Amino acid sequence: MFLIKILIVAGAYYVISDKLLNDSNFNSFLWMERFDILGSTSLSFILLLFFFTLINWLLEILKWKTLVSSVSQISFVQAAKQSLASLTASLLTPNRIGEYGAKAIYYHKALRPKILMLNFLGNAHQMLATVVIGSVGLLILQDHFSLQTFPVSPILGVAAVLIIICIVIAFLQKKWINSIRKIVNEFLQFPFSLHKTTFLYAAARYMIFSHQFYLFLLFFGVDLQYSIAMPIIASMYLISSVIPGFVIFDWLVKGSVAVTLFRLFGVNDVIILSITASMWILNFALPSIIGSFYVLSFNSKSLIYSERKFRE
């Protein structure tokens, strides 16, 4: 167990340090230029950006605490440890798969299947918020700004085709049918109030980090109206969310999509790449560094037992 914890933390620190020291997208000269132009105002921007990160993770922790409360009462501190430690563990895994095991390991074996489902439920609602708001963003870009070059219909068409293919494959595989039915039944067993609260937390998180991106645009002096910038940001998160990948490459995926979208409005590529790199540092790297301490301090004595005597 000790060796595994060391490997997780060492891998996370390698990824973060490599990103901070060797990433050309994080343009330090551009940052210094903005500091010189904005003067004392730049400090207010930086503090506000950090505040957005704090609120983002506060909402994520509260979301996780609310989900777990359906099977076992945990404190805010416990929820914070599990959320941040799982982020650290997920850095080197595709689509944050490591997050599932990292959170489940905090609980007694009898609770782990339920914890895995709760984590999936939280991620599903976060994806739902992204899809709903992102789809509106795509439609706004096409209908209100008459962008003939913006491929909204093809994007939605490809997404629909992929979903249909996945459904067909799932039903052709008999062993998948039972798994899907089991997941659906699990979802139906959760009370509507839990779904509603979880989605509200997910939507609130979405609004926080999407506006944090917009704040970065203001910091770098991008002359783009709010009514245009937010649909672009929403579209960026929607498109990048359906592209599978590792958390360590999250900045690269979002950066590529963001550059393509913002280029349509004449925004400098270097600025967009700097923003996506900075967003990754604030919302993934810094919380992962904190989470690494919780990974190292984990021990079997910290396992959480249900106060409901495992009545599931």
For residues 157-174, one letter each, b for 16 or more C-beta atoms within 10 angstroms of the residue's C-beta and e for the rest, the string is: eeeeeeeeeeeeeeeeee
* Side-chain-side CA neighbours of residue 7 (13 Å): 5
Provide CB contacts within 8 A for 153, sequence distance 6+. 142
Asked if residue 123 is part of any domain, the answer here is yes
Residue by residue, DSSP assigns 203-214 as HHHHHHHHHHHH
Model confidence pLDDT, tens digit, residues 194-244: 999 999 999 999 999 999 999 999 999 898 999 999 999 999 998 888 776
Amino acid identity at 181: R
Q: What is the pTM of this model?
A: 0.82
What per-residue confidence (pLDDT) applies to 130?
A: 93
Whole-number Cα distances in Å, 209 to 31, 203, 234, 280:
20, 10, 11, 11
Q: Are 137 and 234 in contact, with CB atoms under 8 Å apart?
A: yes
The pLDDT of residue 295 is above 80: yes
Lowest-pLDDT range of 95-104, 132-141, 157-166 = 157-166
User: Nearest 5°: CA angle at 239, between 237 and 240?
Assistant: 65
The larger pLDDT score, comparing residue 37 to residue 162, is at 37
**194 within domain boundaries:** yes
User: Do residues 103 and 86 touch, judged by C-beta distance below 8 A?
Assistant: yes
Give dist(CA 168, CA 171) in Å, integer: 5
When pLDDT is averaged across residues 90-109 and rounded to a whole number, the result is: 82
Is 63 within a domain?
yes
Least confident of 62-66, 172-176, 282-286: 172-176
In a domain, 310, yes or no: no
Given a cut of 70, is residue 104 above it in pLDDT? yes
Structural domain contains residue 9: yes
Task: Tell me what the mean pLDDT of segment 30-40 comes to.
Answer: 79
* DSSP secondary structure, 77-131, as one string: HHHHHHHHHHHHHHTTSBTTTHHHHHHHTTB-TTTHHHHHHHHHHHHHHHHHHHH
Tell me if 271 is assigned to some domain.
yes
Q: How many domains is the chain partitioned into structurally?
A: 1
Report which DSSP code applies to 281: I
Q: What is the mean pLDDT of residues 109-129?
A: 90
Whole-number CA gyration radius for the chain: 21
Domain that holds residue 79: 2-302
Are 52 and 212 in contact by the 8 Å Cβ rule? The answer is yes
Structural domain includes residue 205: yes
Asked if residue 311 is part of any domain, the answer here is no
Check if the beta carbon of residue 251 is closer than 8 Å to that of residue 280: yes
pLDDT at 186: 73
